[in-house]
Structure 1
Amino acid sequence: MNRVSGSRQSVLPQRVSENRTSLVNATPQSKDSAFGKLNIPKPQSGTSDRRTSFFGKRFSGAGMPRNSTFGTFGGTEKVKDPRPLHDKSFIQQCIKHLCEFLSEQGFPGTVSIKSLQSPSTKEFLKIFEFIYTLLDPTFQMPTSKIEEEIPRILRDIGYPFALPKSSMYSVGAPHTWPQVLGALIWLIDTVKLFSNMKEKDLLFSDFPESHTEIEEGLEFNKLFLDYTAETYNRFMQGADVFEEEDREYIAKLKKLYNVDEVMLESLAEKHRILSEEAERLEKESQADRLMAKRTEKLKRQTDLQKLQSYRSNLESFKSSLETKAMGISEDLEAIDLQMETLRQEKERLQHILLNQKFSPADIERINRERNELQQTINSLTLSLEEAEQHMWNEEIALAKVKEEAEMELAEYHNLARKLKLIPTCAENACGRDFEIKITSECGPSTMAQYKVQILNPLHNMISEVEEEISILSNKKLSLEEAVEQVRSNITDKMNDLKDLKEQIGKLDEQLEQDMQETAREEEKWAAEMKSMENHKKLLEKKVTDGYDNALEQLTAAQQQYHLVLQETNEQRRSVVNNLHSLFTTAADHLSIVEKFLDDQHKRMNRVYKKSIQEADTELKELKEMVENYIMKADAL
């Protein structure tokens, strides 16, 4: 075979596409059997620079080598943290995210956003231990050298940024807490990723946990080699299609791994039914939200119109107040000028009094004049206060009169808008301007002009309307006679309408029966949903038990560390090859299952759309029949 295959390789091109490897590797491998008796190398001491991974040499998403079970970043180059850890808003978001995560996971202590602003070292250790136990339930916080152990633990599980030891001495300090908080957020993301990967393992939970171990995939390898040899012989004989061999190979694989196709089909059918129900509920809730939003929009538009009218009233009132303020400011300026003149006169008199010598008679005369002037000033001040009070009362009265006028004017404008007289382009305005505009220069002449402008057209319009009313009253009498005749015809048609109503009642009863059947089907779907949830809980319990067994096996493998070191490099290479084939097979199987489920989903969507179209057609025919009955009744 090797000789013949070597000769064909240089003569003929490859006739079978490479995508057949997905069919060859489509084997639902069991989780536990793949790790049955592998020679697992244990990592060396923590001080060694060269460490061996549980899955061999791997690389992280950033392209850096990772070691240990979860993978650590190799190399000595420090990676700069691109996150804005010095931004206060980003720190507050991280604190909120941490507080929500601890609350969801049931953290035993009491945490709040305020306490996480600058936590103590003791609180940080409790939070770190709680989060890390979600990854490793057997983890216990070290009792000594915390400042070295925590950075080492983060480095071992793949934290890409350096966390200095000094940050462990004062965790809540402003210059160290952002870095520690960034490490906790990264650890939370790791926990979420780990939990999602555990949930994805449920894909193979329907396959039985093999009680008889397939040691290193011997049975699968035997089937695969037989299939390869048979198809290659057919290929050398000139065949390009191997449908029969593929069917036999897939049947043997299903028998080997006990694949339950009936269960997969039932799950796909249940998924289709639940998807249809979810789409129907989404459409109903969307319609309700749309009506609520439309109602809210109408309310907002009404409020906006009210606010605009109130704003226009405030602007007019503001302009009137500004006019009054200007008059008062002018009066105050005149009073200030008068006070300034009196002050200058007082200074002049005081200067004369200081520079001249007076006799007692002059002093007595000056005192008498001063008293008279003081009395005059008091009387003038009193009269000024009375004048200001009178002016204030007059302004208040004017404001009240103006407010009443504005209210009457607004009432007039509202009535004119209802009668379609405002604006000029309104239906009943006929190009006339019936709007009254009040300005600061408004006076008796303006009011007389408005009377001439508005009253005469209104009188003309009233006379025209009265003539139209008389004409319409005559028409009303004739129409009433016609209505009497029509009523006599209506009484004749009521019997026919009763018959149609009886038919409609029968249709309503049939519709109610259909609705009751739909309700019973919905209750049946709810019971099936509950059974599915119970099945999901049972599967989660099985996955948890399998994880505990895997941990026990890992502990036993680590205890055999010294025995594993004596094995040859050839055995290690075989283990790596087996693991590679295992993961390749699992990935290919996952892609095939996803593709199959997508095809089933598309097919179910087509069937659903077709059934919906048929139901719409039947409903449209029913509506047309009812409309025809109504049209016939109206015609009769």
Structure 2
Amino acid sequence: GKERGWIKMRMSLAPVSGNTMNSRASLAPGRASMAPGKLAAGGKVRTSSFGGRQSMAPGGRRSTLAAGGPTKQMEDPRNVRDKTFIRQSLQRLIEFLVENNYDRQISPKQLEAPATKDFLHILTFLYNKIDPKFVLGPNVAEEVPALFKRLRYPFNVSKSHLQAVGSPHAWPSLLAALVWLVELLTYEKQTEDQAALAEGGLDEQSDKIFFEFLSKAYGDFLKGTDGPEDQLESDLAEAFEQRNSMTQQECARVRQANGKMEEEIVELSDSKLEDLQEKRELLIKDLDKFKLLISNLERHHEEVVKKTDQLKTDSAAKEKELQAAEKEREELSNIIASQDAANIDAQRITGERNRLVEELKRAALEKDRIQGMLYEAEVQLANKQVEVERAVSEYNELGRELKIMPSSAKHANGQDYEIPLQTRGNSIDQLISLGGKTTLKADLVALHAALAGRVRDAAEDKIGHEEREREVAEQVAEKRREVKSREEECRAKESQLQRDKDALDAELKTMNAEVCEIEEALASGSSVSARRLAQAKKRVEDLTTKMAQEHAEARRRNRDMGEVLMSISHMMAAHKLQVQERLEEVDRSCKLIQEQIATA
């Protein structure tokens, strides 16, 4: 069915010659096959029908995939931009490349948006399956569409797509073209395998051997030299025996290869699957952590960009102020230079200048001191921020362990106790976003009180269950004593029954002895009263009936006593198991609640 699907797909994309699929060499000796795809027996082997290679059949038939006349362009019925189609196409392409020993590393991620050189290398590798001497020239935009036209690809390969192979609008159509080429190669390989199987198949070889036998026999008949048929039949039998021996050797080889493959499959499935699954789970967890880290870094980057923009704005304002101050200084210098200053004015100005220099030094020292204090404050703020982050993380982790986070947890009761933590901020409000959680402490106190109440209730239930367990234990002891007394009574009854049975057996033996004596006396001809004999027989019958009744009654009592004892044992065992399970459940609940309270 799979092969028929490939053939149907190939027929829908490009015409295929019927002779390529159905050609077969004739078995008649001395007659050449008329099939155009290969020569008859004794000729050259069949060559591939791909590319522009010349066929070896008579008449010089060109390949069905060689350059032909212009094909009519039609709309692509495949949804090449569908994600499922792209994923399946990538998987099919990678499988074919790996199976045919592709000479480079290949992965689905690499083929999601491949580079132009990767696409051209894959295309060259595939086309070399058709023409091993093919080399792609420098003018890719012209040669690649022409190459697909020579292969009669029914759709157009755009030149603009070849300029940006990995782009989202170009890669799906180019991937579809590569997969079409892969299917074409797969179809050709299967066609060649079918032809080779038809040439060397077991059924055809058998037909050929039998046909040669008939040809020889008929030839001898026409020549008139036919004689005994033993020689021809022995030759036929020997040919079939040789064929059977070869077949058995081939079967043994195939079974040995299958055994080795099964051992390899078992070894691979046992050794690597679990390790790979564990590694995959670890990688998934690491991926989630990296995603969270990336999101945090992106937020931090945004904050840094905002701060940078703010600093740039402040710097620009300071530059403007500096330029204004420089301009004012130049104006004042010009004014001073244009004035005629007296000696006293120069002294006053010099004193004022010295005072301003001293103030400037004091201001610089004050600035350094303030900057030092600011640095220390920033260090303390960073340390406090780390402590706050650690405290909030521990709080959230304990909340998850106590099953009060998230709001859908077991003990959350629909309340959201989780405190979201921002990775960057300059204040507590920026670091810890409580939002509307103003009653968080009150909710936690109420939750603690509710859990304490549940612990008290569980402790009281445990005490009650322990009391009931003691009562049950006393009842079990009482039942055991009762069972023991019943067993002793049963043993007494059994011993009494055995004694009665022994007595009856002894009496029965005595009566049997008397009956035997009477019968012997009768047999010897002695005259004994008929009445005495009838009484003795009646007594024997009465004693036998009484013994049977006693046996039946004893069996009935023994059976009833056994059923009662079995029922009591089952009830005691079931009750004991139920009490033990309930006590273990209560004990586990108490321990869990105590641990939750201790950790809270």
Bucket of the pairwise TM-score, normalised by the shorter protein:
0.3 to 0.5
Structure showing greater radius of gyration is 2
Q: With the length of structure 1 as denominator, give the TM-score of the two structures.
A: 0.37
Q: Which has the higher contact order (CA 8 A, sep 6+)?
A: 1
TM-score, with length taken from structure 2? 0.39
